[in-house]
Chains A and B, each alone.
Chain A
Amino acid sequence: LAKTTQPISMDSYEGQEVNITCSHNNIATNDYITWYQQFPSQGPRFIIQGYKTKVTNEVASLFIPADRKSSTLSLPRVSLSDTAVYYCLVGDDTGTASKLTFGTGTRLQVTL
């Protein structure tokens, strides 16, 4: 399973765009890239998923370069409520016994 690396923490002011990059150098052909958000004492919540190029939904965009060795979650104009931990996951469709983990994620702190 592809290992992911993310920054431990990031700070931003309200209203700014935030970009969180995840490195996954040994991503496999069948792997998808998924991002989750977690608030304290709650379960993570799915944000966005992609395989290549760019994916956009109502809350975020996901940019994936051609080599797929990294991905960037982009949060437009963050607010205080976007303060959370963001996890990057890489997983495939084999369905075999896997060590899927959420890692330590990136702790985003948004301030006024």
Chain B
Amino acid sequence: KNQVEQSPQSLIILEGKNCTLQCNYTVSPFSNLRWYKQDTGRGPVSLTIMTFSENTKSNGRYTATLDADTKQSSLHITASQLSDSASYICVVILYGNNRLAFGKGNQVVVIP
């Protein structure tokens, strides 16, 4: 079983609407949790990095939250734009050896 599970696997939303992506993890202890955006045909790009003691981190219209007690994180996209169409990957970094545990990504498609 993967240590990082993301849901929904894919999502279609109308331009201008908000959406929330979920990431549940079993990795423990962990150093930090990251969200990456991967456009089609491109490499992943970092959106947010949160340490285990942080609850929320924003990057423009992207807001990530973290609940270390329930081992859940979410990425909220506000007022979606066509350019938000991408895969969003949740990554948890293991404490100590800094190994990365990747989720399979949430595929978001924004339609006009």
A and B held together in a complex: no
Query: Which A residues have a C-beta under 8 Å from some C-beta of B?
Result: none
Query: Which B residues have a C-beta under 8 Å from some C-beta of A?
Result: none
